[in-house]
A and B are shown apart, each in its own frame.
Chain A
Amino acid sequence: MSVKFSNVFYTYSPKSPFEYQALKDINLEFEEGKFIGVVGKTGSGKSTLIQHINALITPTSGSVIVDEFVNSSNKKERTKVLKPLRKHVGLVFQFPEYQLFEETVEKDVAFGPKNFGAKNEEALEKARKAILRVGLNETFFERSPFELSGGEKRKVAIAGILAMEPKVLVVDEPTAGLDPAAARETMSLFKEINKDGVTVILVTHDMDLVASYCDEVVVMDEGKVFTKCAPSELFGRDLTQYSLQNPHIFDFALSLKERGFEIETSSLKTTEDLAKAIARRHKRG
């Protein structure tokens, strides 16, 4: 499923003293099957942008097209029944653990599939699969989501979205507040899901995540798209204006370059890549 924004504007509380234009003329396409990062400082419009994909908000002007679904400021063009769209686009909000409410973990995870018309047994089946997929085991099925640790709650909430089997997965700051190990686990889960053909859109501040996981990155600034490119193209430019920092590995490579140790930086993604690049350079002497 591809997502296409054309000329999208969005204004919060129009015609009041709180009026605030969050999105200004967004033209953007998220291609199917890609892992795309959306970065930018707080208030740059990232969250507003992704809520359009799920038709949680309607553009003030312009339209967002997700396959055959149209979320447009024009009432005539707009898709009337949004439930199928929401089934196909899974949105994991920031701190999703605050959406849990059922008595047991499996019931909570099954809530989404059930809303989208799955039979009780079928929904529970999907739920169990999703719970195992996020790295929790069978002992969690019957437990109350409220007695879990923060990280486990987060996993349950993510499982709640995965159980809907979305074709586009949008995740807003999924690693915020997680310990490094849990963050790594969560991110590799998203990578796996992406490999199954799901388009993943990751909203984040963390350029390290962008470098290691994303095929493409969209930089937002003051409600506009500043650029959309491959992560390696972005690094090396001056990003301080956008409150963004180069990933650590890239900074490391740059300081090596400064000291006269030339290495190839365009394909750097992970620490291993960096190590290999250094090794290659070393062999060449």
Chain B
Amino acid sequence: MASITLGRYVPYKSFLHKMDPRAKIFALIILMVAIFLPYETYAVSFLVGGIIFVLTIVLLWIAHMSFLNLLKSLSALWIMMVFLLLIYMIAPRTTDFYAFSIGSWKIYWDSFIEAGRIILRLVLMVMISMILTSTTKPLDLTDAFEWYLFPLKLIGFPSHIIAMIITLALRFIPTILDDVQRIMKAQTSRGVDFEKGSLIAKIKAIISLIIPLFVSAFVRSDELANAMECRGYDPNAKRTKYRKLHFRWWDLFETFIVLLVFGGCLYLSISGFNPFNLLGIATI
């Protein structure tokens, strides 16, 4: 269960928590782009990935999150890694570094490096998003999101409605997780084993969880809609905000640092500059 609750907002008081959510979303997007930029060689890719990885670990530490827990929740990535490896073993190679052979089938280091690069990118992506969601209140997140949709408002896009939908969806994640726990406990005491058992037993177990979950989710959404209407909610009305987002100088400072990192990555990507060449190290 702990894996599901990962990424849930935890109220610590780090500077990441105090940062403006708009700046955080911007940083998230920029860093993700930096991670996924195409680089000339593998070495540069891994260098950039490594630098961002170290930065992310520092940020995780600042956000009071445990890297070990995060890795545990990503344990399913192993399956994906094996799958990627298999695919890259079949795919055409770009370098000639022969690793070993299975019978007459030659395996090149290429496949491992490619798979490793994708996994590194995915882990980074998940880590950065987790930092965002666990240091930002869901409401702040949607406020920031709505702010970003502002230009679309001018052409009549219902950004408020979208923001409200997102707010509600986020608001109900913990509630539904609680429901999951409650129903799982109820079914466990009726003899369901959610952990062990054959495939059919597992499917049956999941059905006994999913159906009650859907039923209660529908009941809840119905009640919520009624409650909102009773309080006179009108999606098209002009709204004021109770809490306003404030963009402070340190938000600007942090955005600047992120931009600096991004600029460096972009330069490496576009120019094809290989810092290893300067040091005289041969790389692939």
Closest CB in chain B relative to A78 CB, distance in Å: 15
Interface hub of B186, B192, B211 (most chain A Cβ within 10 A):
B186
Q: Which chain B residues lie closer than 8 Å to A115 at the CB level? A: 190-192
With A and B bound together, what is the CA distance between A90 and B183 in angstroms? 15
Select one of B12, B190, B215 contacting A112, CB under 8 A: B190
With A and B bound together, what is the CA distance between A151 and B11 in angstroms? 40
Select one of A17, A51, A98, A160 contacting B190, CB under 8 A: A160
Select one of A86, A114, A160 contacting B188, CB under 8 A: A86
Tell whether, in the assembled complex, residue A99 and residue B10 are in contact, meaning their CB atoms are under 8 Å apart: no
- Once A and B bind, how many residue pairs between them come within 8 Å at the CB atom? 62
Closest CB in chain B relative to A177 CB, distance in Å: 13
Chain B contact residues, majority secondary structure: helix
Tell whether, in the assembled complex, residue B11 and residue A98 are in contact, meaning their CB atoms are under 8 Å apart: no
User: Is the CB of B171 closer than 8 A to any CB of chain A?
Assistant: no
Tell whether, in the assembled complex, residue B182 and residue A98 are in contact, meaning their CB atoms are under 8 Å apart: yes
Tell whether, in the assembled complex, residue B10 and residue A17 are in contact, meaning their CB atoms are under 8 Å apart: yes
Q: Given A16-B10, A146-B215 in contact, is the A99-B192 Cβ separation under 8 Å?
A: no
Tell whether, in the assembled complex, residue A98 and residue B216 are in contact, meaning their CB atoms are under 8 Å apart: yes
User: Is the CB of B212 closer than 8 A to any CB of chain A?
Assistant: yes
Closest CB in chain B relative to A165 CB, distance in Å: 12
With A and B bound together, what is the CA distance between A83 and B188 in angstroms? 9
What's the tally of chain A residues with a CB closer than 8 Å to chain B? 27
Q: Which chain A residues lie closer than 8 Å to B208 at the CB level? A: 99, 101, 111
Closest CB in chain B relative to A80 CB, distance in Å: 11
Contact with B along A101-125 (1 / 0, CB 8 A): 1000000000110111000000000
Closest A residue to B201 by beta carbon equals A115
Tell whether, in the assembled complex, residue A99 and residue B11 are in contact, meaning their CB atoms are under 8 Å apart: no
User: Is the CB of B153 closer than 8 A to any CB of chain A?
Assistant: no
User: Is the CB of B93 closer than 8 A to any CB of chain A?
Assistant: no
Q: Which chain A residues lie closer than 8 Å to B185 at the CB level? A: 51, 56, 93
Q: Given A98-B215, A101-B212 in contact, is the A56-B190 Cβ separation under 8 Å?
A: no
Tell whether, in the assembled complex, residue B189 and residue A56 are in contact, meaning their CB atoms are under 8 Å apart: yes
Contacts of B9-35 to chain A: CB distance below 8 A: 10-12
User: Is the CB of B207 closer than 8 A to any CB of chain A?
Assistant: yes
User: Is the CB of B187 closer than 8 A to any CB of chain A?
Assistant: yes
Tell whether, in the assembled complex, residue B183 and residue A99 are in contact, meaning their CB atoms are under 8 Å apart: yes
Closest CB in chain B relative to A256 CB, distance in Å: 44
With A and B bound together, what is the CA distance between A100 and B211 in angstroms? 8
User: Is the CB of B114 closer than 8 A to any CB of chain A?
Assistant: no
Tell whether, in the assembled complex, residue A56 and residue B188 are in contact, meaning their CB atoms are under 8 Å apart: yes
User: Is the CB of B193 closer than 8 A to any CB of chain A?
Assistant: yes
Q: Which chain B residues lie closer than 8 Å to A93 at the CB level? A: 182, 185-186, 189
Q: Which chain A residues lie closer than 8 Å to B189 at the CB level? A: 54, 56, 86, 89-91, 93, 161
Tell whether, in the assembled complex, residue B190 and residue A99 are in contact, meaning their CB atoms are under 8 Å apart: yes
Contact with A along B162-191 (1 / 0, CB 8 A): 000000000000000001001101111111
Tell whether, in the assembled complex, residue B12 and residue A164 are in contact, meaning their CB atoms are under 8 Å apart: no
Closest CB in chain B relative to A10 CB, distance in Å: 14
Tell whether, in the assembled complex, residue B193 and residue A98 are in contact, meaning their CB atoms are under 8 Å apart: no
Contacts of A40-82 to chain B: CB distance below 8 A: 51, 54, 56
User: Is the CB of A223 closer than 8 A to any CB of chain B?
Assistant: no
Closest CB in chain A relative to B89 CB, distance in Å: 41
Tell whether, in the assembled complex, residue B207 and residue A101 are in contact, meaning their CB atoms are under 8 Å apart: yes
Q: Which chain B residues lie closer than 8 Å to A17 at the CB level? A: 10-12
Q: Which chain B residues lie closer than 8 Å to A96 at the CB level? A: 186
Contact with A along B181-222 (1 / 0, CB 8 A): 011011111111100000000000001100110011000000
Tell whether, in the assembled complex, residue A99 and residue B187 are in contact, meaning their CB atoms are under 8 Å apart: yes
Tell whether, in the assembled complex, residue A100 and residue B212 are in contact, meaning their CB atoms are under 8 Å apart: yes
Given contact pairs A56-B185, A83-B193, A115-B190, enumerate 18 new A-B contacts (beta carbons under 8 Å): A17-B10, A17-B12, A18-B10, A51-B185, A83-B191, A86-B188, A87-B191, A93-B182, A98-B179, A98-B182, A98-B183, A98-B186, A99-B187, A99-B208, A100-B215, A101-B215, A111-B190, A160-B190
Some 30 contacts from A to B, beta carbons below 8 A apart, are A17-B10, A17-B12, A18-B10, A51-B185, A56-B185, A56-B189, A83-B191, A86-B188, A86-B189, A86-B191, A91-B189, A93-B182, A93-B185, A93-B186, A93-B189, A98-B186, A99-B186, A99-B187, A99-B208, A99-B212, A100-B215, A101-B208, A101-B212, A101-B215, A111-B190, A115-B190, A115-B192, A161-B189, A164-B190, A164-B191
